[in-house]
Structures are given as structure tokens and as C-alpha cells.
Amino acid sequence: MRKLKLQVQISLDGFIAGLNGEMDWMVWDWDDELIKYVEEITEPVDCIVLGKNLAQGFIPHWSKIAEDSSHPEYVGGRKYTDTHKVVFTKTLEQAEWKNTELAKGDIAQEISNLKKKDGMDIIAYGGGKFVSSLVKHGLIDEFHLFVNPVAIGKGMPIFAELDRNQKFVLEASQNYSCGIAVLRYRVST
């Protein structure tokens, strides 16, 4: 069965965005080692799952980068543009983007079906509601938490929807010169 990974930037106090979706606190000046880490975790991925809100910025952003071979993030742009994407939405009627399909059904069933299909790993990117739903339903196999060196006080958590304790096993941790610490966890069985 395919593995679902989550890659998400998170504040030191556990938020992935401010109360109104603010992301101005995130570190984006990544060092080469962190970029290499992202390339390594996305290399074995052949499907990206996204919430609609993030997809509306994520897909056009990377598509534009993929058009410019001189851009320093061109390789990532090609990867994100060429990889099959599934956007979870209740409101969009058709996919506006290349290599993208819409998922409108029950998130747990849709992800379960994706994991049963032949293929490589799946990676999730998304906002608070989408990621919280993945967490709540126990759909994520591997967490890649990019902990930013900032506390924002209030915001969008990803673990608030849990209705039971969920234990994790720390598989790796690494500090990067840009200030981000990456914690890789898997769910404890």
C-alpha cells in the first residue's frame, strides 16, 4: 500500500497559519541542505493531494516556475507541475490545472482509495482544515514537520480535531542553518 506523507511548515507553538491564514512568519530563505531534504522526500512521490484553498496558489506558483529553466527552483517546479495532483473540494466544478483531478467525496474514503492504487508515495500539502481532516482520520503515515523559529500565539492548528490521543515515533530530526528544524514522525501502531 502507498504511503501518505505530510510536509508542512509549523510554528514553534503548533500552528500552520495565523487565524486569518497569515503565513508571513514562515521562513522561506531555505538553505541548500533543506532544499535537498525536500527533493529527497518528494522524489519517490507520484501523487500530490491538496486542499482547494492551497491548490489555488500552489499549482499556479509552481507552474510558472516550471516555465523558466533559469529559475533556481526550476527542478521543484517541474516536479510539482508534472506530478499528478488530487484537489479536495466541495465547490470547484472542474480542474483548472494540468495533471489535476478533483475529489469531492468523503476524504477518508478518497485517500484510502488512492493509497490502494498502484504507485509510489503520496504527499499532502494543505491548509488547516484539510490537514486537520487528514490527521483526524488517521490517514497520514509520515509527518515532516518544518518547525519555524517563531511562536505566533493564535492560529490554525492541525491537531485540534483529534478526538483521542495519537502517539508518534520520532524517526529523525535535523536542524538547518535557516533556522528551521525538521521533525519526521510516523504514527505509533
Amino acid residing at 4: L
Residue 56's pLDDT is what?
87
CA dihedral 116, 122, 126, 128 (to 10 degrees): 60
Q: What phi and psi, each to the nearest 5 degrees, are found at residue 98?
A: -60, 145
pLDDT (tens place) for every residue of the chain, 189 residues total: 899 999 999 999 999 999 998 899 999 899 999 999 999 999 999 999 999 888 888 888 888 989 999 988 888 889 999 999 999 999 988 888 888 999 999 999 999 999 999 999 999 998 888 999 999 999 999 999 999 999 999 999 999 888 889 999 999 999 999 999 999 999 987
Strand duo 4-11 + 121-125: pairing: parallel
pTM equals 0.92
Residue 182's pLDDT is what?
98
Q: How far is CA 8 from the centre of its chain?
A: 5
Residue 96's pLDDT is what?
82
- 4-18+28-187 adopts what CATH topology? Dihydrofolate Reductase, subunit A (3.40.430)
What Rg, from alpha-carbon coordinates, does the chain have? 16
Task: Give yes or no for a contact between 4 and 126, defined as CB atoms under 8 angstroms apart.
Answer: no
Residue 112's pLDDT is what?
95
Residue 97's pLDDT is what?
84
